[in-house]
Structure 1
Amino acid sequence: MSFDSILFYLLAIVLVVAAFRVITATSPVTGVLHLILTFFTASMMWMLIQAEFLALALVIVYVGAVMVLFLFVVMMLDMRLEGLKSGLKVYLPLGLTIGGIMVLEMAFVVLRSWGDAPALPQPADNFDNTLALGTAMYTDFAYAVQVGGLILLVGMIAAIALTMRKRSDYKRTHPSQQVRVTAADRIRIVQMPSVVDTPAAPESEGAEK
């Protein structure tokens, strides 16, 4: 077994464990950190098959920007774990069923193509994989790229809608109303009659006797 094969299996084990921890972590921050590890490991696997552009794009765009943004958003939202776990038992059977079907489909495809997979061709010295990728994306798969962009747009709108949801555990401020406030709205002078406490008259000595 070559060094590349050993490194591939090692990265694959790390990838599977990190992906499993993403869906089983009790803390959202821990799940996002394991997702960053998953993307970084996937980029190293792409580097093994000489897809340098995809590997660097995954590290720079997803790990360096998107996942860090997700981490800050999760930390700022202060998500309640009790609310996230409330419907876990209800949707757990359906989730396990869908996950099992996906695993069976991937296992079927991998087992069918394992023996028939040809060896990777050695690229020429002047081969530019970035140019080949761009040509394939915007000529042969232009429609698929547009569909992917539309899906990302829908996901972005859904994320904005989730962050803008109404919550009752914090106070909202309205800048437009704060700007239109006048001095009479901020200060109110109340006139009240003054009250003077009169000392009690001392009792005479004869009365005490």
Structure 2
Amino acid sequence: MDINFALFCTFSLILLFAGFRVITAKSPVAAALNLVLAFANASCIWMLLKVEFLAISLVLVYVGAVMVLFLFVVMMLDIDVEAMREGFWRHFPLAGLVGAVIAVEMIFVLYRGFSVQDAAPLSPELARLGNAKALGVELYSKYLYPVEIAAVILLVAIIAAIALTLRQRKDSRFQSAAEQIKVKKADRLRIVQMHPVKPQSAGEAASAADVKGQA
């Protein structure tokens, strides 16, 4: 057994354990941390397969950005786990059926769509560039239109998320950019002229109190 096979088995076992803990952990924070561990081990497996670009993308995008943000959100929301588990067994049959259908679809796609024997070899020019640069050349030359369509879809999704978040609701604060631009100095600042008032000393305050008492 060589070192690559030993590392593959180690990372795979840790990945399976972390994935199992994601769905069995009682705390959402613990589940998110186990998902980070699963992503890290998946990245290590991709490194063993010499897919450096996908490995570093998984670490930077999912582990470094998405999961950290998700972990912060989970920690700040203070989710009531017990209330979420009340209807678990009532919805378990439907959830199990949906999960089985998804598993069958994944098996069908992986079995029929990813055949290494049918993969076309790289041209000698791309083979000398390296994985990351060869992938960039393929994406932005042969698959340029699908990449642009995916970028437009993501842009529309971002705009829709911002619009749904900033829409005017009763329980949320809303700011109108047009009203903020049209604002003038007189709307924000009002100068009021007041007569000066001299503060009284301790002796003057005592004498004023005596005068009021005699009156």
2:154 maps to which of 136, 144, 149 = 149
In the other structure, the counterpart of 2:103 is 103
Aligned to 1:134: 136
For the 8 Å contact 1:137–1:145, the answer to whether it is kept is: no
| Comparing 9-18 and 46-55, the one that deviates more | 9-18
Aligned pair in 2 of structure 1 residues 155, 13: CA closer, same or farther (>3 Å)? farther
1:69 is aligned to: 69
TM-score (norm 1): 0.61
Matches within 5 A, 1:1-209: 1-108=1-108, 117-118=116-117, 126-139=128-141, 140=143, 141-142=146-147, 145-146=150-151, 149=154, 153=158
For 2:36 and 2:84, the matched residues in 1 are separated by: 21
More helix by share: 2
Letter in 1 for 2:18: A
CA contact (8 A) 2:22 2:31 kept: yes
SS of the aligned residue for 2:86 comes to coil
User: What does the per-residue CA deviation read over 1:84-112, in whole Å, with 9 as the maximum and x for residues that have no partner?
Assistant: 21332232112212222333344455566
Per the TM alignment, residue 26 of structure 1 is displaced from its structure 2 partner at its CA by 1.0
Opposite residue 72 of structure 1, the aligned amino acid is: F
Question: Does structure 2 conserve the Cα–Cα contact (< 8 Å) formed by 1:18 and 1:34?
Answer: yes
Shift of 1:12: 2.2
CA RMSD, Structure 1 to Structure 2 (Å): 4.0
- 1:108-150 Cα offsets, whole Å, 9 max, x none, are 5556689x64499799873232222223334413256337626
Alpha-carbon shift at residue 24 of structure 1 (Å): 1.8
Structure 1: 5+ residue stretches without partners: 167-171, 180-209
User: Relative to 1, partners in 2 of residues 1:7 and 1:108: Cα closer, same or farther, differing over 3 Å?
Assistant: farther
- Of the structure 1 ranges 53-62 and 95-104, higher mean CA displacement relative to structure 2 is found in 95-104
User: Identical aligned pairs, as a percentage?
Assistant: 41
Q: Note the C-alpha offset of 1:34.
A: 0.7
Cα deviation, residue 13, structure 1: 2.4
Question: Quick one: distance in 2 between partners of 1:49 and 1:158?
Answer: 41
1:52 and 1:83 mapped to 2: Cα distance?
A: 43
Name the CA distance, whole Å, in 2 between partners of 1:34 and 1:159. Answer: 31
Q: For the Cα contact (< 8 Å) 2:127–2:134, is it kept in 1? A: no
2:147 alignment partner AA: A
Question: Normalized against structure 2, the TM-score is what?
Answer: 0.59
